[in-house]
Chains A and B, each alone.
Chain A
Amino acid sequence: MTSGATTPRTTSGSGLPAEAGFVVAALAVLVVAAAASLFVGVSAVSPRGLIEGDDHQWRVFWESRIPRLAAILLAGSAMSVAGLIMQSLVRNRFVAPSTAGTVEAASLGLLIATVWFGSTSVIGKMVIAVAFALLGTAFFLSLVQRLRFADIVLVPLAGIVFGGVIQAATTFFAFQWDLLQSLNAWTQGDFSGTLRGRYELLYVVGALMLVGYLYADRFTLVGMGREFAMNLGVRYERVLYGGLALAATITAVVVVVVGAIPFIGLIVPNLVTMALGDHLRRVLPATAIGGALFVLLCDILSRTIRYPYEVPVGTVVSVLGGVIFVVLILRSRVGAR
């Protein structure tokens, strides 16, 4: 694992730690953007209309805008937290749900569940997608542990290849079963279909994030290495596998409900830890808020860029995220030499 470029920490000797300032600032921007997002869309909803008690506007507000905002905040923060936990546990900054085969495995599970159960049972789909995500992540981990790559960039590369193989199989079956269109929806994260009654499962990932926060110190210690963690009484294997299972479960639930949001689990944790360090308990709230903010801004962009049409948020995230990812890789390579 490289330490990226040398990072000056801004923690001052006294007063509030740097992460507190970061959280407050990001939270302020998030609140403003969230409020604004409630009034962006094809159907006209305005604060004035709501005050005047316009029935139609209120219905759109409750049935679509609020659920959409909640889904964005939950999915964005949870995917970032999942990425943060994974990169710490695997001790590689480029490992995230989208570079470890986790997302692709979840999509394959979702496809198989759809064939078996039809499209009605959301719980059934979630359980199978989670199971596949766990299996995929476990396979990736054993791959990494067995091959012991000399270059850290090879680890996510192997994960991407592994994910590609799963994705190819998924596409093949989707073609056979005439489900290519559904598959497309799962692999391109999209909030335009988020309505009341169809996103509430995402509160599960909110709860999982809290679990992640409770175990954050143990994740940090496991990231310091097996012997280091064991010296401090941490049950290394249990925390390692448990943490990865947590990240895989978050990923699968997000894929089932809104579809995959690429790069988010990779970029947000990297940007946040670059600024604030790797003490997970301290950076996890900032990562969650940063992820929510990033996805929210991308979603607002996806709603306005071709107004009145929508670009899938996954596309916007990919374009922005891809650029940031390349910059991160270049920076880390320069820093490592």
Chain B
Amino acid sequence: MIEVSGVTKRYGDATVLDNVSLTLHRGGVTALVGANGAGKSTLLSIIGRLLTPEAGRVSVDGLDVATTPSTELARRLSILRQENTVAVRLTVRELVEFGRFPHSGGRLTANDRDHVERAIDYLQLRPFEHRPVDQLSGGQRQRVFIAMVLCQDTDYVLLDEPLNNLDMRHAVQTMHLVRRLATDLGKTLVVVLHDINFAAHHADRIVAMKDGRILADGTPSEIVTPAQIQAIFDLEVDVHHLDAGPFAAYFARRD
């Protein structure tokens, strides 16, 4: 269980997170949605101890992220930020192997190697496992990073806008993968998403943020309604009900 209590984060005069509290139980996919600057990525970074809040605390399975040794936390929780530009010349396999670093400190055991092989197969990286990561396409690279996180084998996986810069097909594949990590492997995923429809169709729970606060929190059918979307994004939309779930036609022309 991840518990966020009373977290506040400021940059100078701007309050990015204002006394945010949130409880995330084990299992399932939680989507964090909201307009740009709503505080989603900041909240995710604080949960993943990449940023330190001015007030409040975050605990993961009862461990305070501010005081728990970073390596121990890295065995329970992984966080992947959005800009994964790779300037370092590593092969796909080398990068995936680094996912085991919190467990073995770089000297891979037989068990570590099993994890690496499984992650490479799971993400279908076998054909280019020896290619340098910086020569891959954006979609392939995203899979490599997810394979690394898979190798890290943490109960909690935090992904910050994993669909950024991906085309339709790769975005859908990535979300399928996120879903499978939760359903097949029993992991708990928290994903920052821009597209409310991806959240509506792949998440179990949607947490909507606005101006550094949590505005709404519920199942996709509770959150993806014209009234809620108006409140979250200040945007008037029609919501259609498809068999797969609610669908916000936000890109429709409104003459």
Contact = CB atoms under 8 A, between A and B. Distances in A.
B78 interface: yes
Interface stretch (B127-135, B163-171, B190-198, B209-217): B127-135
A269 B98 CA distance: 22
B89 A217 contact: no
Contacts of B94: 277, 279
B49 interface: yes
B132 A9 contact: yes
Contact of A277 (B45, B79, B90): B90
B87 A273 contact: no
B22 interface: no
Nearest to A11: B130
A223 B106 CA distance: 15
Interface string B85-100: 0111111001000110
Interface residues of A, number: 32
A226 B79 CA distance: 12
B89 A278 contact: yes
B87 A91 contact: yes
A69 interface: no
Interface residues of B, number: 35
A223 B88 contact: yes
Interface string A209-246: 00000001100110110111011111100000000000
Contacts, number: 82
A7 B131 CA distance: 10
Please report whether the interface of chain A is mostly helix, strand, loop or mixed according to DSSP.
Answer: loop
Contacts of B79: 227, 231
A7 B132 contact: yes
A318 interface: no
B50 interface: yes
Contact of B48 (A2, A226, A231): A231
B74 A233 contact: yes
Contacts of A224: 86, 88
B71 A233 contact: yes
Contacts of A232: 74, 98-99, 101-102, 152
A279 to B, nearest CB: 5
A303 B143 CA distance: 54
Interface pairs A-B: 5 shortest CB-CB: A233-B74, A233-B71, A217-B106, A1-B87, A233-B102
25 contacts: A2-B87, A3-B89, A9-B130, A9-B131, A9-B132, A11-B91, A217-B105, A224-B88, A227-B50, A228-B81, A231-B48, A231-B74, A231-B79, A231-B80, A232-B98, A232-B102, A232-B152, A233-B70, A233-B74, A233-B101, A235-B70, A277-B89, A277-B90, A278-B88, A278-B89
Given A4-B89, A228-B84, A281-B106, 9 more contacts: A6-B135, A7-B132, A220-B88, A224-B86, A227-B50, A232-B99, A232-B152, A234-B101, A278-B88
